[in-house]
Structure 1
Amino acid sequence: MAMSAGGNDGGVMSEINVTPLVDVMLVLLIIFMITAPLLTHKVKVTIPTANPEAGKTKVNKPIDLAIKPDGSMYWNDREVSKAELVAKLKVAASQSPQPELQIRADKTLKVANIKAVLKDAKDAGMVHTAFISTGKQ
């Protein structure tokens, strides 16, 4: 509330100071006048049509590589030697899209043997590798 600076009565003024209210209202009016035309501006967008054949990609069947405790390896349930494995990995790495190499190794197998197979896969250019377990403890 405002107090009177002089005069005989010395009481409280009962008038409201509307100057700040008018200033705020003018600023809001200017803001709305500027932004209102922007809200009604339409942007034309061309929406592409759906092509169900375009989204389908060829997915190769994953490769199952089983490694037994004695070191023998099976490529999709067929026994392979180390040289055959390297050759098959190079062929699989050149396919597009590249199939996933899923390794099933016996739990008693040394980590060094699995590491050697992973190195051969990496050297051949295989990108997608996974490990498969039976879920039994």
Structure 2
Amino acid sequence: MHGPFNRMGRRKPMNEINVVPFIDVMLVLLVIFMITAPMLTQGVKVDLPQVTSEPIEDSEDRDPIVVSVDRDGQIFVSLSGDETAVDLDQLGERVRILLEREPGTRVLVRGDRNVAYGQIVTLMSTLQTSGVANVGLISEPPPGEA
């Protein structure tokens, strides 16, 4: 008798693996990763405080580098009260020079509430490419909180 059963009525072991379900699963995973991968690589890494009601106590005696953007979109860099107006193209080099003089200095961004979000993101991206690992954001507490 020929076929999958031998004379004793038992099945013959199968020596082929059906890979069609495996291929289906792999194609679904490929589509999922193709959709989600671009979302994971965009953005600027920013370490923000989680509690806004209390200021963060700083144990360092150094003044931070403060990058300010006014209502008109002009950029200013200040360290120890010395404020200098810079273009976005000059910002990275200016901050890099200040960080080489005093490594480990914090960098804070102070932006006017009317400045476009895209301009702040571009500014933070420029800071990141110039070697700033962590950028802090300066804000004011709402009226009534102090």
Q: Which TM-score applies when normalising by structure 1?
A: 0.51
Identical positions, percent: 16
User: C-alpha deviations, 1:79-122, integer Å up to 9, x for none?
Assistant: 11223212112223435532111111011111110100111111
Q: Equivalent residue for 1:63?
A: 65
Residues 29-59 of structure 1: per-residue CA shift (max 9 Å, x gap): xxxxxxxxxxxxxxxxxxxxxxxxxxxxx86
Aligned equivalents of 2:128, 2:101: Cα separation in 1: 15
Contact 1:102 1:129 in 2 (8 A): yes
The reply on whether 1:81 has 2:83 as its aligned counterpart is: no
Ranges in structure 2 where 5+ consecutive residues have no aligned partner:
1-59
1:67-88 deviation line (CA, Å, top 9, x unaligned) = 0121101111321122321211
TM-score, normalised to structure 2, is 0.48
Whether 1:72 aligns to 2:74 is: yes
Q: How many residues align?
A: 80
Whose RCO is larger (CA < 8 A, sep 6+)? 2
Give the distance between the partners of 1:86 and 1:123, measured in 2 at CA. Answer: 7
For residue 129 of structure 2, the aligned residue among 86, 102, 123 is 123
Letter paired with 1:106? D
CA distance in 2, matches of 1:83, 1:63: 17
Question: Greater CA deviation, 105-114 or 83-92?
Answer: 83-92
User: What is the CA–CA distance in structure 2 between the aligned matches of 1:96 and 1:65, rounded to whole Å?
Assistant: 16
Q: Of the candidates 126, 138, 141, which is equivalent to residue 135 of structure 1?
A: 141
